[in-house]
Every structure is written in C-alpha cells, then in structure tokens.
Amino acid sequence: MANFKALVLDQDRLFPADPTVRAIARRLYAGIKDLPIVSPHGHTDPAWFASNANFDNATSLLLLPDHYVFRMLYSQGISLESLGIRTKDGTPVETDYRKIFHTFAKHYHLFRGTPSRIWLDSVFHDVFGLEYALSSETADLYYDSINEQLVKPEFKPRALLDKFNIELIATTEGAVNSLKHHAALKGTGYEKRVITTFRPDDVIDADRADFLSNIKKLAEQTGQDTHNWQGYLQALRIRRQFFRDHGATATDHGHPTAKTANLSADEASALFQLCLAGTASKEQTELFRAQMLTEMAGMSIEDGMTMQIHPGAFRNHNPSIFQRFGADKGADIPSPTEFVSNLKPLLDKYGNNAALKIILFTLDETTYARELAPLAGHYPSLKLGPAWWFHDSPEGMLRFRHQVTETAGFYNTVGFNDDTRAFLSIPARHDVARRIDCRFLAGLVAEHRLNEDEAHELAQQLTYQLVKQAYQLD
C-alpha cells in the first residue's frame, strides 16, 4: 500500500485562495459546520427507513442509484449494461457487483473537477474512513472495506440519519402512491424525521402513458368521480390531505415549462375532457398542466402546503436509452425556461397573497438576474430555490448567490436542498453548500459590504433557519 495515493480532504477546500478572505470563511464555517441537516426535497427510498435493513453492497448503494455517476461513464462509451443498469425488457446485464465497481474505479479519473468527485471522496473518507484514493489498484480494498462496514448496525439507514445529523429528510412520491413505507414508520419515532412530498405529475400530465390509469386509481383511492372536473379537483384535495397525514408540508411540480393559466371553470372542464378522451393536442396538454399549476396554488392557500415548481428539464432526451432502460437514466437535459410571462396568470390570481409559498427552481441560469431575482424580490408569494441539479456545484452555487442577492436579497431564498437519491452523499452535498455560502459571505465582509457579525447570523440562517421557515418545518 506504500505506493497508493493518499485520500486527503483539505480543511480549506472550496474556500478562497486569498488568505484574508479565507480566514473569514474559516471563522464563519466553524460556526455552522455542525448544525443539523434539514433535507426538505429529495428522492431517497422510504423503504430504506421503513425496513431499516442493511444495504447490500457498495455497488448497489453508491453507483446504481446515482445518475450523476453513470451518465458520465456512458458519455465515455461505457455501456449501461456493463454497469448493471436494469433493462425494461429484462435482457441480461452485468450482475457481478465487484466487476462493476472495478469498472467504476478504473474510470474514476473522469470525475476530476466535478461535484461528483467532491461528494464521492467525502463519502469514502468521512463515512467509510478510507485512506487511499480510488483507483484500479485500490478497487478491491474499497469494495471489501465498504461491504464489511455496511453489515454493521451503525450502517443501518436509521442509524445513518443519526450519524449524519439529519434532523429531517423528505422523500417525493406521486399522487397515487400508497405511502405504505411512510405508514410503516408511524409509531417508530421516525415518522417526523422521514416525511413525504406530494408530487401530482402522475395525475396532471396528460402526455404520460399512465395518465388514464392513474386517474382511475385516483378515483378508487378517494371515492370521487375523477372524470368530472369538480370531482377530480376534490380527489386531489383528498390526496393532499392524505400526504399531509404522512408528514408532507410541500408539493412538487416537475413540469416541462413554467407556464400557468387562469381558465374559467367551464374552459378547464372542457380541456380536462379532451385530456381524458386522449384527443388533446400537445398545446392543449401543456395548457392543462399550466391550469393545474394555478389550481395547485389555490389548494396550497387552502391547506398551507409549500409549492415547489421545478421546470425546464427536457426529460429522456436520448430515446434509445429511454426505450431500453426507462426514465431517470442520466439523459435529462436543461432547456431554456421563461418565467415572467409564463407565471403571470398564476401571479395575477394569487401572487400577492402572502399565505401562498412558492419556491421556484431553474436549470436556466440566464434567468437568475433577469427574471427570477426580480420576481422573488417583489411578489410576497415567491422564494428562490437553491442552485439545482446540473448547477448543484461549487461554481453553480456561487453564480446563484452573485446573480440573485443584489435584487432578491438573502431572505427571499430558502437555504439548500440536496435533491438526491444518493443517501450517503447528503452530508457532503450540504457541506459543499455551507462552504460556498461562507466563501460568498466572507467576500462581502472583506469588501466591507457586510459586518462579520451579520455574516455569522446569515450563515446560520442560510444553513438552517430559512429552510425550516420555507418548508414550514418549525
């Protein structure tokens, strides 16, 4: 092992090179680094926490759920089959998890300079205590060491919540999900730490292949006539309450665009019937999604749920990957997104109502200073979500702070969320966000634009208080 390269995480990573600013960032970070993690939006599997079973192995835990990992490998000509990604038709793929891990280790250099490298190195070093850098030579050492630790009681999912100092984690489920895993948590003491989020795209997006079957299931679950416009809306209210009964404080909407509408009840009903009949055009299904964002905003005023809007992803851009492996396989691509005109119908109706809490996310960074910061800097209903997905990175986080702060301020933002399936990377992702916020604040202090005592207060709020306020978790 003498020739193995050491795995070192510098204590000043991501801090400024300038020694004066770096010293301020260190002081700010020291005051927040050990604060509890609040993870209000993510995609971890609730079954993990319900069953509390040990994870199987390093590959199935660290690689297979993480599309950041396999999209990079695929871009370099490494097939998804060789990485063990299951096909839709059940045709064989690689099942030797050690071999898959070796493939990953051999190509680990591909992640240099990426946030995935930061997160993974942190997991290897901080969670598993590995002392040598990952390479082909250390692949077996990694695989065996990780697997030996995963069978221990302290690596059960609930124990990891404590180890990671996660105060709360939210999962995300579709409107017709049974929430059986969240139900299983009731009475364990974890039902208030692992909560759900209501994502109704499955019963709102008429372009989905399963839209009609989901509408039928919605009727069965609620006892409402979901082929009737008012019955459909009432069914959604019932499901929202069902999710609230399982801890939900927020909804989530992953529409292709930020388009909203404000149709009359008769117009909306007629449009709904076209969607049910399967005769709606692409423009009409988009209009229906737009109308439903406005309907969801009205329901959020009624029941108090925070509303998250995540537009701008061109889903499943690679049709051959989608046809062979299904959705969420690393082929989603950011696309231009317009907010000012698209949100206006919803904002005309509800935007001045301070009881409505909408968090806006974007994959189109050109909108930060031009559209999103001015909107959130005016409308009491709007807040800005953190740098998201492709921009959940050190540079992406800095760009976000630089472009929105002067217009929207800090208090129209909502802290950080990790938006991940990769459970073990959550502490690393939050640590990156904390370090970058301290870096940004330190710059303001060094330039005498902010007093250091104010920066300490802001660091605490950006890390902990603002997220709890935005998602109503107090």
Distances (CA, A) of 380 to 125, 300, 347, 360: 43, 14, 10, 13
77 assigned to some structural domain: yes
Instruction: Find tokens 């030579």 and name the residue.
Output: 137
Q: What is the pLDDT of residues 364-391, one digit of tens each?
A: 999 999 999 999 999 999 999 999 999 9
Q: What is the mean pLDDT of residues 5-20?
A: 97
Task: Mark whether 168 and 148 lie in a shared domain.
Answer: no
Q: What is the pLDDT of residues 158-174, one digit of tens each?
A: 999 999 999 999 999 99
CA geometry: angle 31, 33, 36, nearest 5 deg: 105
Q: With 70 as the cut, is the pLDDT of residue 1 above it?
A: no
As for how many domains the chain has, the answer is 2
1 assigned to some structural domain: no
Alpha helix locations (H) across 371-451? Answer: 373-376, 394-408, 426-446
Give pTM, 2 decimals. Answer: 0.97
13 assigned to some structural domain: no
CA end-to-end span of the chain: 49
Which residue among 153, 179, 195 closes a domain?
A: 153
Q: How confident is the model at residue 474 (pLDDT cuts 50, 70, 90)?
A: confident
Domain range holding 121?
55-153
Task: Mark whether 295 and 400 lie in a shared domain.
Answer: yes
CATH code of the domain in which 441 resides? 3.20.20.140
Task: Mark whether 257 and 388 lie in a shared domain.
Answer: yes
Task: Mark whether 32 and 77 lie in a shared domain.
Answer: no
Is residue 314 within a helix (H) or strand (E), and if so which, with residue range?
strand 313-314
Task: Mark whether 232 and 254 lie in a shared domain.
Answer: yes
Laid out side by side, the sheet with 166-170 consists of 37-39, 166-170, 194-195
Which residue among 95, 118, 153 closes a domain?
A: 153
Task: Mark whether 285 and 331 lie in a shared domain.
Answer: yes
Is 116 in contact with 72 (CB distance < 8 Å)? yes
Task: Mark whether 27 and 97 lie in a shared domain.
Answer: no
Which residue among 126, 153, 180 closes a domain?
A: 153
Amino acid letter, 283 = E
Task: Mark whether 250 and 199 lie in a shared domain.
Answer: yes
Tokens representing 235 are: 């069914």
CATH code of the domain in which 121 resides? 1.10.2020.10
* Cα distance between residue 212 and residue 200, in whole Å: 13
Task: Mark whether 137 and 178 lie in a shared domain.
Answer: no
Q: What is the mean pLDDT of residues 203-227?
A: 98
Q: Write phi, then psi, for 76 (nearest 5 degrees).
A: -100, 15
